[in-house]
Amino acid sequence: MKRHRNVKIVATLGPASSTYEVIRALHEAGADVFRLNMSHGEHGEIRERHAIIRQVEKDCGSPIGILADLQGPKLRLGKFANGEETIEVGQDFRLDLSDEDGDATRVQLPHKEIFDALKPGASLLVNDGKIRLKVKECGGDFANCEVVVGGVISNRKGVNVPDVVLPLAALSEKDRKDLEFVCDLGVDWLALSFVQRAADVNEARDLAKGRAAVLAKIEKPAAVEAFDSILEVSDGIMVARGDLGVELPVSSVPPIQKRLIRKCRAAAKPVIVATQMLESMIESPMPTRAEVSDVANAIYEGTDAIMLSAESAAGQFPIEAVRTMDNVANEVENDGNYVEIIEASRKVDHSTVADGIVAAAREIAEKTDVKAICCYSQSGTTALRVARERPRAPIIALTTVETTARRLCLSWGINTVMSDSVDRFKTAVIYAIRAAKAQGLAEEKDLIVVTAGVPFNTPGSTNILRVAPCEERLIHSADAD
């Protein structure tokens, strides 16, 4: 399904979007990748939604990516005797390991790992930062705190610890079971929550064993500080602005977002901007102007994908939310300023033959009337390099590997097409011509650029480029051969 935009749209599935009719409508409205949130839904529900996506993919005749988002360890308070209490600014409040119900002076925090890592002066944020505590003294089983921001504190509210790297694995026991389940099911991407260090990503990669690409969610200050090493071992990145905006000053999130997007592009790895992009559309058929500007800014910054969470999973207007994102993306990408901004931010060291080939393909496309850049890519690496260039001409990635086609659905500007295997470059050119015509991107005698690696079926071997006319005689000649 050819889109008239380059940025991709990720839509989360949930109670509002669990039927074939709605999922197909979301895809037709613009969703390129579907997110399965492992924090909600039993395995049976996840299996059913996965099967529906694959049926929609088959019926529509276009690859669809599926991203399973692992929950990660959840840090929560214990329970209060009265269900909730009101605590005042300046008062003392104790967190400890005791399983007795809490009151206005203390409550259980059943995570010894937090107490082992805390130091005096550290901050603890409760309920998305609505309650803020500052540690005065602490030990292996307690933390005596001062209330910095007070209010109502209640059962099982989440806790964030922004100031320290916690000695917690990114994968809980539930995550390990979920990871094995979704990998066996056949998802394309795993989103890893609670990432603090590169080792967290490596652990998930070891468990996935190549069955799914691993995407690191950047939602903690420690992940921002260690971002370069995390990016190096990740297949993709999600800028998860929800928790990031809780644990860091909200004013710091926009420049962090911009910086991470540029680093991902330089590394030729896809990046998603997520959380609260069209939040008001959970209950309203129309977004706010600020939300539209937020989506537009992410696109201007060059992100590969933008994501809907509750808007499509539980909102009243899931299809309208996807359509709104699609409309904003088309409007932005047709703005002359967009091209200038994207091209001005192109700073890549073309240090390999493959880098040079894709850079040449982009330059040829810009300086001549080339209708598309077609690349053969078994692993997806060449297609990602072409996408990094952000060419003005459409990108067609031809591959014989179904998982590669689906994973590339997350990357900027790439139209993925399943192809028969080829053993010589002339046949590759013919298949590229057919794909460009079938996608409606080229007509008879239009020019396309074709890149490939010889010998074929060798990942990372891109070493040849040809400018080819889309002439029927070439196709007939190849058929005759």
3 assigned to some structural domain: no
Residues 6+ apart with CB under 8 A from 69: 12, 35, 36, 37, 38, 39, 191, 193, 217
Whether the predicted model's global pTM rises above the 0.75 cut: yes
138 three-state secondary structure = strand
Same domain as 319, residue 224:
yes
Q: What is the pLDDT of residue 343?
A: 93
Quick one: 377 and 243 in the same domain?
no
* Catalytic pick among 35, 49, 106, 437: 35
Number of neighbouring beta carbons within 10 Å of residue 448: 26
Mean pLDDT for 458-466 is 81
Q: Give the whole-number percent of the chain exceeding pLDDT 70.
A: 96
Radius of gyration of the chain (CA): 24
Indicate which residue of 8, 217, 241, 385 is catalytic.
217
Write phi, then psi, for 58 (nearest 5 degrees): -65, -45
Cβ atoms of 140 and 112 within 8 Å: the answer is: yes
- Same-domain status, 252 and 209: yes
Residue 263 has pLDDT above 60, yes or no: yes
391-430 residue pLDDT tens: 999 999 999 999 999 999 999 999 999 998 888 888 899 9
- Which residues are registered as beta bridge partners of 134? 123, 146
- The residue segments making up the domain with residue 103 are 84-160
Residue 74 catalytic?
no
Is the residue at 256 inside a domain? Answer: yes
In three-state form (DSSP H/G/I as H, E/B as E, the rest C), the secondary structure along 63-131 is CCEEEEECCCCCCECCCECCCEEEECCCCEEEEECCCCCECCCEEECCCHHHHHHCCCCCEEEECCCCE
Q: Are residues 367 and 279 in the same domain?
A: no
d(CA 322, CA 325): 5
Confidence of residue 454 (pLDDT cuts 50, 70, 90): confident
348 occurs within a structural domain: no
Percent of the chain with pLDDT over 90: 86
pLDDT number for residue 477:
62
Residues 320 and 369 placed together within one structural domain of the fold: no
Q: Which pLDDT score is estimated for 415?
A: 95
For residue 275, indicate whether it is catalytic.
yes
Please name the amino acid found at residue 223. Answer: A
* Average pLDDT value for residue range 428-445: 92
Q: In terms of domains, do 383 and 266 share one? A: no
Residue 478 pLDDT > 60:
no
What are 16's two structure tokens?
């509002």
Residue 388 lies in a domain: yes
Alpha helices, DSSP H only, in 234-288? 241-247, 253-266
Whether 76 sits among the annotated catalytic residues: the reply is yes
> Looking at this protein, which amino acid is placed at residue 323?
R
Q: Give the confidence band of 2 by pLDDT, cuts at 50, 70, 90.
A: confident
- Domain end: 105, 135, 160, which one? 160
Residue 208, SS3?
A: helix
Question: Do 274 and 188 share a structural domain?
Answer: yes
CB 264 within 8 A of CB 271: yes
From the list 76, 259, 392, 434, the catalytic residue is: 76
267-316 pLDDT, tens digit each? 999 999 999 999 999 999 999 999 999 999 999 999 999 999 999 999 99
pLDDT on residue 347: 77
Sign of the torsion angle spanned by Cα atoms 414, 419, 424, 428 = negative
Asked if the structure places residue 197 within a domain, the reply is yes
156 belongs to the catalytic site = no
Nearest partner of 32 among 219, 308, 276, 238, judged by Cα: 308
Tally of structural domains, the chain: 3
What's 105's domain CATH number?
2.40.33.10
pLDDT level of residue 348 (50, 70, 90 thresholds): low
Q: Are residues 179 and 45 in the same domain?
A: yes
CATH code for the domain of 281: 3.20.20.60
On whether residue 78 sits in a domain, the answer given is no
pLDDT of residue 461: 73
Q: Of 199-208, 301-310, 348-357, which gets the smallest average pLDDT? A: 348-357
Cα distances (Å, whole numbers) of residue 435 to 125, 323, 385, 453 = 53, 27, 20, 18
Q: Does 1 map to a domain?
A: no
Name the β-bridge partners of 119.
Answer: none
Shared domain check, 133 and 55: no
* pLDDT surpasses 80 at 458: no
Taking the CA of residue 393 as centre, how many other CA atoms within 13 Å lie in the half-sphere pointing to its CB?
A: 30
pLDDT of residue 476: 60
What is the spatial distance between Cα 38 and Cα 466, in angstroms, rounded to a whole number?
45
The answer on 302 and 251 residing in a single domain is yes
Res. 349: pLDDT tops 80 = no
Average pLDDT over residues 231-246: 95
Give the DSSP per-residue string, 275-335. Answer: SSSSGGGGT-SS--HHHHHHHHHHHHTT-SEEEESHHHHT-S-HHHHHHHHHHHHHHHHTS
How long a stretch of residues is the chain? Answer: 481
214 pLDDT more than 90: yes
C-alpha 68/C-alpha 182 separation (Å) is 7
Helices (H) and strands (E) in the chain, counts: 18, 21
Distance of CA 246 to the CA centre of its chain: 20
Lowest mean pLDDT among 303-307, 355-359, 370-374, 468-472: 468-472
Tell which of 160, 185, 219 closes a domain.
160
Confidence of residue 480 (pLDDT cuts 50, 70, 90): very low
User: Is the same domain home to 203 and 311?
Assistant: yes
Asked whether residue 175 falls in the same domain as residue 216, the answer is yes
**Rounded Cα gap, residues 144 and 106, in angstroms:** 9
Residue 48 resides in a domain: yes
The answer to whether residue 178 scores a pLDDT higher than 50 is yes
CATH of the domain at 406: 3.40.1380.20
Q: Tell me the average pLDDT of the chain.
A: 94
Q: Considering the candidates 8, 12, 157, 275, report the single residue annotated as catalytic.
A: 275
Interval 382-392: pLDDT, tens: 999 999 999 99
